[in-house]
Amino acid sequence: MSNFERIQVLKNQEAEPYANFVAEYGSPLLILDCNKVAEQFNALSDALPNIEFFYAIKALPHPAMIRTLLQFNVGFDIASKGEIDLLRLERAQARNTIHTHPIKRDDDIRDALSYGCTTFVVDNIWELEKFVAYRHRVALLIRVSFPNAKTNIDLSRKFGCQPSDVLLLLRKAKALGIHVKGLSFHAGSQCTDSSNHVHAIRQCAAIIEQAEAELGKLLPILDIGGGFPVSYTHSTQDINQFCYPINEALATLPAHINVIAEPGRFLSAPVMESVSRVIGKAERSDGTWYYLDDGVYNSYSGQIYDHATYPLTVFSDGECSSIATLAGPTCDSIDVIAEQVNLPPLRIGDLVIGKQMGAYTSASSTRFNSLETAEIVVINGPSVGLNTIFITHSS
């Protein structure tokens, strides 16, 4: 990514709203804007009409996300007891949830069932057998693998059966008396284009047809997973353009098939900004090093786990005149946010804003060096009225 795409320099006076947050709550901070959650949901539902959405909580497991999406009757994709507990606290209806983790302990199945979730995902015979004891209470989706070499986050290596194994699993489920109601896939996260979604939809359509012809088995649900991308530059992503081929492929499905999706990143990435401060600086042989109070062990953890590079905003009335490195606050040398970028001179105390920092950021932050994780300040939250703020801790 070029310096221009990654670094935005705004005038000093534009730092004021962020400085006000820092004056009130300290730093580092994450600001979660519920209006943006609504905007993202509206954009995706416009781009993919007639699809029922189940927000993948793992991307940003925060009450404000759940509360805002509940206003739009969005369902939830859950994968752990902790995520179920979050939904319980927010009084989300279990009938609008799907448990999508392909590998579960018996306790995980029981927890989800006791909450009221009855849709589960499997991708192999051993997982199928775990449901024998619960066969009168559940309906399953079979996850199919569609590898995607074009993304860094290929979710079809660790999970998903081969397309050619689906009929075998359907036969086995029938023999065990377990109801399978559809297929699911994940085309890879942060997809560069929608070709793998289209490929997967076409393959699944063929499997659904074959299951009906050979086994007389109807599979009325197709779960097209997540993968809907956001822009990690200062310009925006055209989600309509991404979804257009998906809609074309979906239009060829038989009318009785209900299509659902599990978006995580698209609904959450643009809704949080990180606010950190320069806490130290040094001149080194490769330029100026600025040390921030947030880094890859904390809100920028997605630079490690999610392969993301977040666009940054700094504030200065000066010119971009020096090659600089932005580093996090821990003692580890891997804790670097941006290397060899062209920056204006920054002072200790200056603010650095990270954009598009809602998805897979605070969700995977740590307390390495016994440092606190960033506070999350929620603005425009539904439960507390417009333009009011409540503050929660992310850990």
Ligand X SMILES: Cc1ncc(COP(=O)(O)O)c(C=O)c1O
Residues of this chain that interact with ligand X (CB under 6 A) are: 56, 58-59, 77, 100, 155, 186, 189, 225-228, 262-266
Shortest Cβ distance from residue 73 to ligand X (Å)? 19
* Axis-axis angle for helices 106-115, 81-89 (nearest 10): 10
Shortest Cβ distance from residue 40 to ligand X (Å)? 11
Residue nearest to ligand X (CB): 226
In the chain, the DSSP E strands lie at 7-10, 29-33, 52-56, 75-78, 97-99, 119-122, 139-143, 179-184, 221-223, 258-261, 272-284, 287-292, 312-315, 322-327, 336-343, 351-354, 375-379, 389-393
Tell me whether residue 97 or residue 189 sits nearer to ligand X (CB atom): 189
What DSSP string describes 47-88?
A: HSTT-EEEEEGGG---HHHHHHHHTTT-EEEE-SHHHHHHHH
Shortest Cβ distance from residue 267 to ligand X (Å)? 8
CA–CA gap between residue 110 and residue 245 (Å, rounded): 39
264 Cβ contact list (under 8 Å, min separation 6):
55, 56, 57, 58, 59, 60, 77, 189, 226, 359, 360
Tell me whether residue 28 or residue 227 sits nearer to ligand X (CB atom): 227
Tell me whether residue 63 or residue 102 sits nearer to ligand X (CB atom): 102
Tell me whether residue 80 or residue 247 sits nearer to ligand X (CB atom): 80
Q: 3-state secondary structure string, 274-287?
A: EEEEEEEEEEECCE
Shortest Cβ distance from residue 291 to ligand X (Å)? 31
Q: Are 208 and 183 in contact (CB under 8 A)?
A: yes
Tell me whether residue 27 or residue 40 sits nearer to ligand X (CB atom): 40
Tell me whether residue 77 or residue 108 sits nearer to ligand X (CB atom): 77
* Burial environment of residue 267 by CB neighbours within 10 A (0 to 12, 13 to 18, 19 or more): buried
Tell me whether residue 55 or residue 115 sits nearer to ligand X (CB atom): 55
Shortest Cβ distance from residue 75 to ligand X (Å)? 12
Shortest Cβ distance from residue 367 to ligand X (Å)? 23
Tell me whether residue 227 or residue 329 sits nearer to ligand X (CB atom): 227
Tell me whether residue 58 or residue 355 sits nearer to ligand X (CB atom): 58
Shortest Cβ distance from residue 163 to ligand X (Å)? 18
Q: State phi, psi for 300 to the nearest 5 degrees.
A: -90, 20
Q: Are 194 and 243 in contact (CB under 8 A)?
A: yes
Shortest Cβ distance from residue 97 to ligand X (Å)? 13
Tell me whether residue 111 or residue 335 sits nearer to ligand X (CB atom): 111
Shortest Cβ distance from residue 134 to ligand X (Å)? 20
Distances in whole angstroms, Cα of residue 273 to Cα of each of 248, 284, 309, 324, 380: 34, 29, 13, 22, 14
CA–CA gap between residue 333 and residue 134 (Å, rounded): 50
Shortest Cβ distance from residue 87 to ligand X (Å)? 16
Q: Which helix (H) or strand (E) holds 35?
A: helix 34-47
From 364, 362, 368, select the one nearest 394 (Cα to Cα): 362
Distances in whole angstroms, Cα of residue 292 to Cα of each of 228, 322, 330, 354, 390: 31, 17, 9, 12, 25
